[in-house]
Every structure is written in C-alpha cells, then in structure tokens.
Amino acid sequence: MPLTPAIESGDRSHGATAIESVAQLSTILEDTDPTLDPALGRLARQAAAEGIVLLRNDDAVLPLDGRTVAVFGRTQLDWFAVGYGSGGDVKVPYVWNLVAGLRDAGVTVDSEVADLYAAWCAENPAELTGTWGQWPHHFPEMPLDPAVAASAATRADTAVVVIGRAAGEARESILEPGSYYLAEEERTLLDAVTAAFARTVVVLDVGNVMDLSWLADYGDRITGLLAAWQGGMEGARAVAAVLSGETPASGKLTDTIARSYADYPSAANFGDPDANTYVEDIFVGYRYFETFAPERVLFPFGFGLGYTTFALTTQAHEVDGILRLTIDVRNAGTRAGAETVQVYVAAPGVMLSQPSRRLAAYRKTAVLQPGESERVQVSIAMDDLASYDDAGATGHRSAWVLEAGDYAFFVGTDVRSATAETTVTIPDVRVVRQVTEAAAPVLPFERMTLTRDTDGTARVATAPVPTATVDLRERILQQLPAALPVPAAPLTLDAVAAGEATLDEFVAQLTAAELADIARGDITMHSPLGAAGNAGVLGGVSESLRAKGVRPVTTTDGPSGIRLSAYASLLPSGTALASTWNPVLVRELTALHAQEMIRKGSDVLLSPGMNIHRDPLCGRNFEYFSEDPLVTGWTAAAVVQGIQSQGVAACPKHFAANNQETNRTRNDSRVSERALREIYLRGFEICVREAQPLAIMMSYNQINGVWAHYHHDLVTTILRGEWGYTGCVMTDWWMEEAVDPLFPALENSAYRVRAQVDVLMPGGVKTDAGPQSYADDSIAQSLARPDGLTLGELQRGARNVLGLVLALTPVIDART
C-alpha cells in the first residue's frame, strides 16, 4: 500500500521527524515498514475535521474563502497531535502541522511570518522530558515584536493564532498559566496580533477544556474560535480543511465550557491524593449548569456553529412506551453543512432530584446542500429514561424507576437552544428494573440535591448519601460456582472450536497450575509471545497451555492508535471522535483501524477509553469522550462494533470512576450508588449491551473503599449479573496488593479471581526493582486453605478468558 502523502520537507510537528521522502525515512529507521493505509488516513482526517468545534464566527470570518492568512504561535509547527502516555504514544511515521495543512488546502500563507517561526522553532526546539508524567503542558512561545504583526497585516487580511496544550496519563492539567490558564507570552501574542488585524481566528490545539475567560478581554477583536482538539496524524490537515471551507464545520461540544474553573461542581473535590467525594452526585457537567447556574456557562453542552443555518420541523407520537420523533432538517443557508439533532428530556423530579435537562438521543445528518433536507427518525424507549432510586424515595429502593408525571422533550442543536416539542405522561410510578444494592458508599457524606423556591427557581440543597446495607460476604458465598466434572478423555481447545467438545469440558481437565496460568498474562510488557512492543500477552502463556491449543493473545494500547515497535496510524483523540456526534463515522474508522491491527499483530486493542469528563483538569480527558454518559456509551459502542467487525477485540476501559490521574492507583472515588450507576457506569452499560465487547479493563482506583480489580459488586453483581456480560475482564497494568477483608484466606490474585477479574496484566509482580517472575502464588495458596478460593471459581475465570481466546483464534491462525 502506498504511504499517505508525507508532510513537506522542513515542516516540523510534535512527535514526528521532518522527512523528504519515504526512502530517506527508511534509511533512518529500518526496523519496520512506515507505509500506512491511505483509506484509513482519509477517514481519520474526516473524523478529525467533523470533531472540530467552531465556537465563534463573527462577521463570517470563516471559511477563509481564499484570503491570505498570517499564522502566529509556535504550535503551528510544533503541533500537539495527541495527549501523553499510553493513550497516545504511537510510533507514527508522520504528523501534519498547520502550515503544511493550510498550504495543502490551497490557502495562501504569509511566508515572512511562516519563515520567522520556522527559524525560531529550529533554534528553540520543543523539548519533551524523558521523565514519565513530567511532560510539558505547553511549549514556550516565540516573543513577537508588535511591528512584525503590523507588517504582516499589510500583506494578509486575516490572522490565525494557534494555542497548544497537552496533558495525559499521570499528568493532570493544572491551574497555572501555560496549562489551564493562558500563559503571559500568549497574552502578549494575542495583544499584538489583535491590535494589528481586524480579523483574528484562534485555534485551540488542546486535549482538555481550558480556561477561555480571556475571550472577554478581547471582545470583538477575536472574530473566530475553533476547538480543534487533538486530531492525530491528520489533525492539523483537518483544521486547515475546516478553516479553508474545504470541509464544513460541524463538530459539537461534548462538555460544558464554564466561565471559570471554580464554576465546575467538581472543583472543590478534585485532585486530593487520597480520596475525592463526588458531592455533586448526578449533577455532572451540563446537568448542573442548566439546572442551577446557566449564567456561568460560556459555551453550552452540544454547542457548535457551522457555515450555514438549519431549520428543524418536528413531529412526535408515542405508542406503547416508545416515543418516535420525525425531524425534518433543512439547510436554510447558502453553504453546504451538516447538523446534529439533539433531543433532551426533563423528568418530573418530584421524589428524585432531576436535572432540568438530560440528553435522550441524537442523530447527525449527512452534508446537505443549500435548500436540501433530510428526515431524521429518532426512537426513544421511555424505560431508558429511568432513574436509579438508591434511597427508597419512590418506595422502590435499589430499582430503576420512572416517576409519575410529565416528561417534556426538547429538540434542537444544543442543550440551551433546544425547544419543547412534546410531552409524555407516566400516570403512575413504574419499576423498570428491580436490581439489588451494589457498590454503595461505606463512609457517609452529603450529596447535592435540588430544592425549589416558591417561584420554582432551582436551588442547590444537600442530603445524606445512602450507605451500604448488604452483607457482601453472604452474597458471595451464595454465588460460589461448583467445580466442573472432569471429562474422560483429554481435549484440546481446537476440539472446542470445531464443535467436538464444550468449553466447560476443556476447562474441567486443566490442572490448578494451568488454571492459575490462565489467570495471568505473560511476565511483563513486550512479551516475546507477541508482536514486538506489545502491552502484554494473555492466554497461552505456558508451554502446557499452548500444547493444548491455547493461543497467546497479544494486547496493545490504545485509544488513539496501536502502540507497538512497528509504525502505526495515530487517530483522533477520544474527545475529537466524540465531538463528531457521528457514531456511523466512528464505526467505519475503527473497522479500518482493526484491519491495521491484524496487519501489525494486535489481537486486543486496549480501547476505547470511556471515563466521564467529571472535571476539566483530568489528564486523560483527551482519551475519553464526554461529560455525558449517553455520548460516551454510543461513541464507545461504535468503536467496539467497528473493531470487532473484523474479528479482533476491543477492550473498553477504565471500569470505573477513573476520573483523575493524581495518585490514581490509591485514590478512592467516593460516590453514591445512584451517581455511580447513572453517570459513571451508564456509558459502560450502553457499550456492553449494544456492542458486547470481548474484553474490559478495570481501573486503578478504589470505588467506595475497594480497588476496582477486587470489586465483586462492580464486576460480578453489576457487570456480569445485571448486564449479562460473559467476556474477559482484566486488570489495568499491575495491581495493588491486598487481603480480602471478608475472606482473609484470599489475597492478591486469589482476591481478584473471586471478584471475576479474570486476568492480571501483564502478569508479573511489580516491585521496586521492576516486574519480576511469577512470584504471586496466592491462587495456589488460597486453594489449599479453608474458606479459600474454590476450584469452581478458578474454572469460571478460565472460561471467561478462553472465550476470548476462541473468538480470536481464527485471526491469530490466519496471521501465523
């Protein structure tokens, strides 16, 4: 396959080497083939472009329509294509920068300013520290003489200023200039440029939401603003396409952008190294702002401008608990464009506090020409709008319920502008699902609730959070599986694949030592059993297992690309993908990405990252999708469906409530059962039910005092019991040592297996000296102890792992 066109000679970008030709690159790095699938590159560029959010476009400054531009800011060359850590550390053969992208799109770029930045950046290269988690949030800016800007304004009539930010794994954004806040040199740059130019467009090359309160300081001197997110190897080229008008702007925010950091409801309870109390409860993001503080919103959830205008006409009818909306979307403007129809619901909120609106459905149109229309069909099951009653306020504790009353539905193009279209009345309280208390808080705290003034104005109130009442030890003992009967004849896993034996029969013949081997990956990352540079290998990690037909399964990071020693594509970040509001496009992109997985030797992609954007400072927000669980769930399901359509596996992560990087392996997320289920688990539930991922990764943190990789309620009660999940559950890489407080005979991996966290990845025990051999013999020890791990539990976990191996065997065999 031919290489996607390389960036121009001399163009520089963060994470890529300037190259003149494929031949030159090959002489420098001969270990792998740098060619990439051009179809994947094109689709990645389309996704990056559709995810760009146009936040301001005064006086129709965009698209550029052939105007000459002067580009300011070093990020035009030192482009942040992705965030830091395992979610972005891909060996990519090229990354476009903005100057190259603009020229490729036919935009005339002022050469004097471009040459000035190129020379300065070459003399002052962007330095990435080699210390894990200490990467720079931004690169120092070139000092700009105002006379340079004034001179450029005589040659170009539009200025583009690029501001770049990055954060990542183990690297939060911080409340300092150059991270969440604008750096002083960036203010100086904006002062000079906006004083010289009548038209200034700011491009935010960022992975996380940053402070934008400075926009007020410049008023109408900043005429255009784009949230470009981090669009991967083709991201800067995608920005150029949107700026030039080659691609219409159509992205929508998946987060609320507030006027100040202090306005976010999580602000006072984020970043503590030991524990964070989720006092805001279900009022996360726009659920809080639209209910209690609409005046504190700078840009509302779902917002995004285009280059045209649309007219929406809605018809609605409800039959047997299904609301069907028919929405005609007409391009009423003069340019081509695409629009996202968003449907919100306001629940009664008499017995349970409810936000003023929450997202119920959305659909994106195709690109429509002026005057062209598209009819959008939306179906909403009322049962899907149920709320979780963790306190018994409705008379039905531990149940998903629909309160009696009117459910108002709003249709529009963002949460703020959506208008009322129809109402569905539920005559009586309806129990949609009766479940059981699970993962409830142990320590009491006060959570946010809602009260109203006499005039109906919503006010913040507080109430005690319900705490755990279940006898978890008794629950576990009642669910212990029996050991399987041993078959008369020895079997191989190939016999199971051929339908000549059952998986239970194969598992039953395995020794305790072989079962313990299945419960862990190979010793460390970069296992010799898989493709070079892999994240870890599971399944056939021992000779005896391989002799029985258990194939080694190779896992790789990650959400933005395949992290191996080989070259691979760098795709748009999670936020960029979600900002497309286009699951169909995401599914097409990830299906092509799965084909690259097969070529490169990856069997399980540790993706998608799908934790909630609880707070804008979380370092890994760029990997994740949204503050909203529906956007998160639908986007994640599209990723999983695309990857698994090609016979390989996706592994959503991090399950669950992994919402900060500070002390992430020990931090405790203290959250009500309602908020846990409605906000932090809901996206995972949607993904599991709609896409059936073959694997799931746990998070590092604790949830209400229990590490996720030991959390029986989270995995066995909810994931497997309530949602019916039958796939493989693995740890994040390594885990914290602990003894089960309910069953002291279980510790470490034995404790984990009882929770049905099937595989320790990568498999060795992590010590101060680094990963070692299989020193953890807690499974064997526990099997021999009274009240210890049972053979049936170990067999149950092996069944889950081998189900994954069987699903991947055709691809593995075809490759080998």
pLDDT of residue 129: 72
Question: Could you give the CA distance from residue 90 to residue 535 in angstroms, rounded to a whole number?
Answer: 12
- Over residues 728-738, the mean pLDDT reads 95
Top-tier CATH class for 300-464: mainly beta
pLDDT of residue 7: 35
pLDDT of residue 753: 97
- Over residues 271-278, the mean pLDDT reads 97
| DSSP string for 374-416 | EEEEEEEEGGGG-EEESS-TTS-TTEEEE-SEEEEEEEESSTT
Pairing type for strands 399-402 and 430-434 reads antiparallel
pLDDT of residue 558: 85
Considering Cα of 537, then 538, then 542, then 543, what sign does the dihedral take? negative
Residue 3 banded pLDDT, cuts 50, 70, 90: very low
Cis omega before residue 574 (within 30°)?
A: no
Question: Could you give the CA distance from residue 627 to residue 583 in angstroms, rounded to a whole number?
Answer: 17
The first and second tokens of residue 269, run together, are 């309870």
Pairing type for strands 668-670 and 702-703 reads parallel
Catalytic residue check, 33: no
DSSP 553: E
The first and second tokens of residue 462, run together, are 């507080």
Gyration radius of the chain over CA positions? 27
Beta-carbon neighbour count of residue 291 at 10 Å? 22
Q: What is the mean pLDDT of the chain?
A: 94
Q: Cα-flanking dihedrals φ and ψ of residue 159, to 5°? A: -105, 140
**pLDDT higher than threshold 70 for residue 6:** no
Residue 523 banded pLDDT, cuts 50, 70, 90: confident
Determine the residue type at 483. Answer: A
Q: 3-class SS at 319?
A: strand
Top-tier CATH class for 487-815: alpha beta
Pairing type for strands 419-426 and 405-412 reads antiparallel
- Over residues 321-329, the mean pLDDT reads 98
Topology, domain 22-251 = Rossmann fold (3.40.50)
**pLDDT higher than threshold 50 for residue 1:** no
Question: Could you give the CA distance from residue 656 to residue 654 in angstroms, rounded to a whole number?
Answer: 5
**pLDDT higher than threshold 70 for residue 359:** yes
pTM: 0.95
Residues comprising the chain, all counted: 816
| 537-593 residue pLDDT tens | 999 999 999 999 999 999 999 899 999 999 999 999 999 999 999 999 999 999 999
pLDDT of residue 15: 34
Residue 88 banded pLDDT, cuts 50, 70, 90: confident
**pLDDT higher than threshold 50 for residue 22:** no
- Over residues 263-291, the mean pLDDT reads 98
Determine the residue type at 619. Answer: G
| 763-782 residue pLDDT tens | 887 666 555 555 568 999 99
CA nearest to 349, candidates 387, 383, 379: 387
Determine the residue type at 682. Answer: R
pLDDT of residue 20: 30
Weakest mean pLDDT among 275-289, 727-741, 775-789: 775-789
Residue 29 banded pLDDT, cuts 50, 70, 90: very low
| 699-708 residue pLDDT tens | 999 999 999 9
Residue 10 banded pLDDT, cuts 50, 70, 90: very low
- CA angle 482-689-732, nearest 5°? 70
Query: CA of 487: how far to CAs of 320, 436, 484, 492, 794, in Å?
Result: 50, 37, 9, 12, 17
| 57-71 residue pLDDT tens | 999 999 999 999 999
| 677-690 residue pLDDT tens | 999 999 999 999 99
- CA angle 107-109-111, nearest 5°? 155
56 DSSP β-pair partners: 225
- Over residues 2-29, the mean pLDDT reads 32
| 331-348 residue pLDDT tens | 999 999 999 999 999 999
Q: Where are the domains of the chain?
A: 22-251, 300-464, 487-815
Of 732, 740, 758, 776, which one is the catalytic site residue? 732
| DSSP string for 586-648 | HHHHHHHHHHHHHHHT-SEEE--B-----STT-GGGGGS--SSHHHHHHHHHHHHHHHHTTT-
**pLDDT higher than threshold 50 for residue 23:** no
